[in-house]
Amino acid sequence: MSAVPSGYSLRSSTRRLTDRIGDVALRVVTALAALAALVLLGAIVWKVIHLAWPAIQHYGLSFVTGKTWDPVKGVFGALPFIYGTAMSSLIALVIATPLSIAIALWLSELAPGGVRGVVGSLVEMLAAIPSVVLGLWGILVLGPFLADHLEPWLHDHLGFIPLFGPPSATGTGLFTAGLILTIMIVPIIASICRELFLQVPNELEEGALALGATRWEMVRGVIIPSTRTGIAAAIILGLGRALGEAIAVTQVIGGGTTISANVFGPIDTLASKIAASYQGAASGLEAASLLYLAAILMVIGLLTNLAAQVIVRVFDPLKGAH
């Protein structure tokens, strides 16, 4: 009984007190930090809508369907830029989706051990290139190449499709923007898909091979079906990135306000229009309209991201594989 030295009680010593305060303080401080993140997102949504409010009141929803953007006449509508956003993202997704799935399959199934890690790192490095550098490359290297070679070729051979109209003179336009966006989203989709494919249980893959399936039949019959929802989420995340990219697109898309079927023509996306006009808004109404574009972009961006996150969370990305 006398083993406990006198004066050493298990309760209410000073050390205990600092610990109690410390525990509460750490819990409160970290909770406040988490709360700050929630408040931040709320504040962003509120502030951007608030900034756009004069234009929202002035135009209402007809702004979204307005086909004209003419600062001289003071008429502003968002449709050309919504079209530009949709088309540039569509071009990027059409090219990037099969390409990134193929890269991810190669990395997870085909690559020889020695180069697998290296190529994986290189693909991730592609994602690390700053968008402004990619845009610089797009406007000075890729653009001229496209204008001189690929665009005339596509126009000559597939010109009967209205999409492939007369080539651009300098290589800036919707098509170039789509290709730059492709380069930006391929590493995103590919690295997510690679993780998914690696999670597919080996027994399933080996089972398919043991039944006599070829590698491709194993991919088509086992890997793709069991990771379908995850692939969808990866594609939507890529889409979110493509929709919102402002800088690289501004550099290569040429800047225009007329909707045309020709993908080689200049246009603007929502994001690129905002970035391109950041200093030049002449009238208050034009500035407000640009902020309205920002609000539309924000809503689209939030919905896309939310969709991807919900798919990942609600549906098990590996449904059926477990």
Q: Which of these, 242, 236, 228, lies nearest to 303 by C-alpha position?
A: 236
| Cβ at position 321, least distance to another protein in Å | 21
Classify 140 as helix, strand or coil: helix
| Cβ at position 168, least distance to another protein in Å | 16
Distance between CA atoms of residues 135 and 178, nearest Å: 12
Pick 102 or 210: Cβ nearer another protein: 102
Distance between CA atoms of residues 279 and 287, nearest Å: 10
Pick 49 or 259: Cβ nearer another protein: 49
Between the CA of residue 314 and those of 36, 87, 196, 322, what are the distances in Å?
Answer: 26, 29, 16, 16
Asked if 296 contacts 56 with a C-beta cutoff of 8 angstroms, the reply is no
| Cβ at position 189, least distance to another protein in Å | 11
Q: Is 68 left (phi over 0), alpha (psi -120 to 50) or beta?
A: beta
In order, the DSSP letters of 40-64 are: HHHHHHHHHHHHHHHHHHHHTTHHH
Pick 82 or 186: Cβ nearer another protein: 186
Distance between CA atoms of residues 317 and 196, nearest Å: 8
| Cβ at position 57, least distance to another protein in Å | 17
Pick 251 or 262: Cβ nearer another protein: 251
Classify 170 as helix, strand or coil: coil
| Cβ at position 304, least distance to another protein in Å | 7
Pick 30 or 65: Cβ nearer another protein: 30
Q: Is 74 left (phi over 0), alpha (psi -120 to 50) or beta?
A: left
| Cβ at position 165, least distance to another protein in Å | 25
Pick 186 or 231: Cβ nearer another protein: 186
